[in-house]
Amino acid sequence: MATINTNSGAMVALQQLNMTNRDLEQVQSRITTGLAVASAKDDGGKFAIAQKMRADVKAYEVVGGSLDLATSTVDVALAAGEAVSDILIEMKSKALAASDTSLDSASRTALNEDFKALRDQIGKIVSNASFNGTNLINNSVTSISALANASGSSTISISDENLSLGGGVVTLTATASMDSAGTAATLAGTISTSLSNLSSSLARLGTASKAVGIHKDFIGKLSDSLTQGIGNLVDADLAKESARLQSLQVKQQLGVQALSIANSAPSTILGYFR
């Protein structure tokens, strides 16, 4: 039926053209953002899952920072402990030399001055072995903790190792000196015990540092896996979108032509009245 009041062909052509334009907008958005799911309206389920995974990735960044802080604190403690160990070895040699009964008083006094200078250096090293205000070897803290998971419900704890003079590890007192061969011999034995204790402390700190490093690597891999998973969920296939863009552009042009043809149809009615 020929009519000028209703143009069904034009309505159909317009509907198709509008659908094509909406598809073009979607493709352009994907090309611009690189995301197939940029918001909840694109795919609510995938968007919700991706947002949760993004939150976990951000949380693991915080966990990694916490582990880095713990690692640095332990590394400072280890460096100081190794320096203390070197000093104790040198002090032991001084004590052994001073324990020689054939040594004259002046020589023993010179050795004692060197001994006391080294002793005092241990105190300075221990008191200055801090990172970010935390000292793990001067008995100022019981332990330190680092975050181990994204929820904060799990931590890695590292115990304090008191390397202060007269403490449980370095049993040499802060006033130790060699005023005689017998005292020097006793101090040599004390230093040997301290060295043995210190080796155990350094081993514990080294093990703790290694454990933190291993967990840091695991957290990094876990974060990378989550990031890859997010990409699998929401990233757009740009090669596919490029092909789709060209197809839709052609379809849009054809839709415009179809609408133009449909709009010109009522003018043919004039031929009926000639």
Question: Does 185 score more than 80 pLDDT?
Answer: yes
Q: Rounded distance, CA 257 to CA 13, Å?
A: 9
Read off the pLDDT band of 178 (50, 70, 90). very high
Confidence (pLDDT) at 2: 61
Q: How far apart are CA 4 and CA 196, in angstroms?
A: 105
Percent of the residues in the chain that have a pLDDT greater than 90, as a whole number: 64
pLDDT given for residue 274 in this prediction: 65
The pLDDT assigned to 217 comes to 95
Among 38-52, 78-92, 169-183, 240-254, the range scoring the smallest mean pLDDT is 240-254
Three-state SS for the chain is CCCCCCCHHHHHHHHHHHHHHHHHHHHHHHHHHCECCCCCCCCHHHHHHHHHHHHHHHHHHHHHHHHHHHHHHHHHHHHHHHHHHHHHHHHHHHHHHHCCCCCCHHHHHHHHHHHHHHHHHHHHHHHCCEECCEECCCCCCCEEEEECCCCCCCEEEEECCCCCCCCCCCCCCCCCCCCCHHHHHHHHHHHHHHHHHHHHHHHHHHHHHHHHHHHHHHHHHHHHHHHHHHHHHHECCHHHHHHHHHHHHHHHHHHHHHHHHHHHHHHHHHHHHC
Q: How far apart are the first and last CA of the chain?
A: 19
Average pLDDT, the chain: 90
Contact between residue 135 and residue 141 where contact means Cβ atoms under 8 Å apart? yes
Which pLDDT score is estimated for 1? Answer: 59
Distances (CA, A) of 118 to 93, 100, 173, 268: 12, 20, 12, 111
pTM of the model: 0.77
195-217 mean pLDDT: 95
- Report the top-level CATH class of 48-233: mainly alpha
- Residue 82's alpha-carbon distances to 136, 137, 159, 233, in angstroms, are 14, 12, 17, 50
Q: By mean pLDDT, which of 4-8, 240-244, 254-258 is the weakest?
A: 4-8
Question: Residue 35's beta-bridge partner residues?
Answer: 235
Q: What is the pLDDT of residue 116?
A: 95
pLDDT at 243: 86
Burial status of residue 105 (CB atoms within 10 A of its CB: 0-12, 13-18, 19 or more): exposed
Q: Per the structure block, which two tokens stand in for 14?
A: 């317009």
**pLDDT value at 261 more than 90:** no
Q: What is the mean pLDDT of residues 79-84?
A: 96
pLDDT per position as a tens digit, 101-129: 888 889 999 999 999 999 999 999 999 99
Would you say residue 4 has pLDDT above 90?
Answer: no
At 191 the pLDDT is 96
Distance CA 26, CA 21 (A): 9
Dump pLDDT digits (tens) for 24-79.
888 888 888 888 888 888 889 999 999 999 999 999 999 999 999 999 999 999 99
Distances (CA, A) of 252 to 11, 32, 71, 260: 15, 20, 60, 12
- Tens digit of pLDDT for each residue in 125-162? 999 999 999 999 999 999 999 999 999 899 999 999 99
pLDDT of residue 89: 96
CA 31: distance to chain centroid? 31
**Cβ 89 vs Cβ 195: under 8 Å:** yes
Q: What is the pLDDT of residue 246?
A: 86
